[in-house]
Structure formats: C-alpha cells, structure tokens
Structure 1
Amino acid sequence: MVEIFSKRDGPRREDVQVKRLIEQNRGVITKLADQLSNGRYSELRKPRPKPQAEGLIIHIGDSHKPEPHPEPRVRVTANGRVVAVDIESGRQLAHFGDIRDRKGTKVFILATSANGFIAPLEDDLVRLLADVDGVAIGSSYSNTELASDIGQRIDILPEM
C-alpha cells in the first residue's frame, strides 16, 4: 500500500491553531521571558538608534606604524634554492639561483635567462655574481660558504 501526501495551499490547520494560541498569550509569554532573563528579553526587542558617524573616516592598514625595512639574509633552502629572505617575515626577497646535480656533482647555477630561468636576475647582480656561476658544491666548498660568498658580494649577511 502506498500513501501519497500532497502539499495543500496555505498553512496546515495545526500551525494556524498554534500561531493563534501564541498570539493570544503574547503578554504572558513576554512577562515570563522577562522574569527569566531579568528584563533582558524586552530590552533586546526595543529598537535602538544606530550611531551616526560625524565625518568620513577611512583607515587603510595601520598608518601610525612606519613600514618595516626588510633585513635580508642569504639562505640555501632544503631543495637547493639560493635566496635572500627577510628574517622578520620569512618572505623571499630575491632568488639568486639553484644548486643542481650535473653529472654526479652539485653545481650552483646562477638565475640568468641563458641558464633557462624565467625570472632572471638584474644585470647588476649578474655582474657581481658571475664568478660563482657553475661552482661545484661539495666537501671543499659547502652550501654555507656559497651563501656567505654571495652575501659578501652583494653586502647581505648569510643566515646562520
């Protein structure tokens, strides 16, 4: 056996009866709600005037603080990228190149368009760092020494 319930137009008879009962006893319900909430129920239902602004005030960021100056450090990341980062925020400021594996030896590749980098270094930095391009990294010359050399050439301290 299948029963089909179809929706009628208008509210159900039970809903109409309950709404009428609530409206008839609105005063008693409000009095009980005020008694249980120490008057907070009626106070919350009162319309409150919205505060009006006296003038147009626009705040963009924190204009009272001066913009912090980045304090760069040269870092060799775990995946072989050689970058300059701000030590306060950790944000990358510059990408100098990558340490790549070439025929079994690790070699530093400078970030130039000739080496296939999409965002190459500026010409000034390329001239300063040209002699470290293609340097082999190993037991005689480590990642920290590479970071130190790059930092000395461009006057940035290496990260410790």
Structure 2
Amino acid sequence: MVEIFSKRNEPGRDEARFRKVVQENRSTIVRLADQLSQGAYSASKRPKPAPQPEGLIIHVGAGPAKPDIVDPHVRVSHNSRVILMDLTSGRQLEHLGELRRFGDALCFVLATRENGFFSPLDDDIVGRLADLDGIYIDTDFPEERLCATLVDRLLDDADAAGMAETEPGQIPD
C-alpha cells in the first residue's frame, strides 16, 4: 500500500503550537537576547535614520575628463596584441595588429580586413605601416625595434603640440 503525504496550506498543529509559545514569551526572549548581546539585539531592531546630505552635492554623469596631453606609446600586450596607447590615461588609442606564431617564427600582422580583423585600421595608417605587415620578429628585428619603428612611422609628421590637440582615439596626420 502507498501512502501519499501532501503539504497542507495551513500550518500543522506542532507549528501552530510553537508559534503560540514564542508569541506568548516574546518579551522574555527579547530580554535574554539583549542580555546576551549587551543590548545589540534591540539596537539592531530600531529604525535607522535616513542619511542626510551635507552641503551642495553635484553629480555629473559623464566619464573622466579627457587628458589635455596625449603621450603615445606602442605596447605589445601579454596576448600578443600590438596597440598604440596613451601613457597619461592608460587608454588604448588604436589596435595596430598582433604578433602571430607561424611554426617557430613570430610575425607581425597588421590589423586589416584581409588579415581577418573585424575593425581594420584607417587607410592612412595602413599606408604608413604596410611594409611592416608580415615582418618576422627575431634577433635582427626584436619587439622593441618593432615598437620604436611603429611610433616613428605613426608620429613622423606630428610634434608634441599637434599631439596635445589630438582627441583620444585619433592619430595625428
């Protein structure tokens, strides 16, 4: 024979009896809780006042201010991405490409649509860096030399004053 136990909507007799005992002895339970917690139990039950603002509070929903001076730097990240970044703010200005491994050789691949990048570089930048696409990184041409060459090519016409007026994400012409 199978017995089916189903939960009822109303509380059981034991549960109702327990709630009644707790309700009748509420003052004793609160007094013991205060005694054991040195008054912290009742203090935690009191309503807390809402915080009140002091002085003039101005909230601006914009992001951080744009830096006045852009200090460009080419960096190779841990995941082999070659980026142009601003040393002042730490923000990425341009994704130039990546270092890909072909067998034992490491090769610089420019960020163009032909190389499989979704957001390719501008044609102006690609024109400046086209001959570096596919160059192998080895002892004759190390990463440091690649970074220096990229900075020289990108900033050959720009001076410090021109970079100061450049918006982040823009490369000066």
**Per-residue displacement from partner, 1:108-139 (whole Å, max 9, x unpaired)?**
44434566644232233234334434545544
> Residue 153 of structure 1 aligns with which residue?
153
Q: Secondary structure at the match of 1:41?
A: helix
**Percent of residue pairs bearing the same amino acid type:** 45
Q: Secondary structure at the match of 1:36?
A: helix
Query: Following TM superposition, by how much is the alpha carbon of 1:44 offset from its aligned partner in structure 2, in angstroms?
Result: 2.4
Distance 1:76 1:31, change over 3 A: closer
Mapped to 2, the partners of 1:32 and 1:80 lie a distance apart of 64
Mapped to 2, the partners of 1:136 and 1:6 lie a distance apart of 74
Aligned length: 155
Q: What amino acid is the match of 2:22?
A: I
RMSD between aligned residues: 4.1
Query: Following TM superposition, by how much is the alpha carbon of 1:151 offset from its aligned partner in structure 2, in angstroms?
Result: 1.2
Higher alpha-carbon deviation: 7-16 or 137-146: 137-146
Mapped to 2, the partners of 1:149 and 1:136 lie a distance apart of 14
Mapped to 2, the partners of 1:119 and 1:106 lie a distance apart of 22
Counting only pairs closer than 5 Å after superposition, residues 71-82 of structure 1 correspond to structure 2 as 71-77=71-77, 81-82=81-82
TM-score (norm 2): 0.60
Point out where structure 2 has 5 or more consecutive residues left out of the alignment: 157-173
1:70 and 1:86 in contact (8 A); partners too: yes
Q: Secondary structure at the match of 2:5?
A: coil
TM-score (norm 1): 0.63
> Residue 26 of structure 2 aligns with which residue?
26
Largest Rg, 1 or 2: 1
> Residue 11 of structure 1 aligns with which residue?
11
Mapped to 2, the partners of 1:80 and 1:27 lie a distance apart of 68
Query: Following TM superposition, by how much is the alpha carbon of 1:5 offset from its aligned partner in structure 2, in angstroms?
Result: 2.2
Distance 1:150 1:52, change over 3 A: closer
Q: Does 1:125 align with 2:135?
A: no
Counting only pairs closer than 5 Å after superposition, residues 1-160 of structure 1 correspond to structure 2 as 1-53=1-53, 57=57, 59-60=59-60, 67=66, 71-77=71-77, 81-87=81-87, 91-99=91-99, 108-113=108-113, 117-133=117-133, 135=135, 137-155=137-155
1:76 and 1:144 in contact (8 A); partners too: no
Mapped to 2, the partners of 1:9 and 1:46 lie a distance apart of 33
Mapped to 2, the partners of 1:79 and 1:53 lie a distance apart of 46
Query: Following TM superposition, by how much is the alpha carbon of 1:30 offset from its aligned partner in structure 2, in angstroms?
Result: 1.9
Mapped to 2, the partners of 1:101 and 1:38 lie a distance apart of 67
Point out where structure 1 has 5 or more consecutive residues left out of the alignment: none
Q: What amino acid is the match of 2:45?
A: R
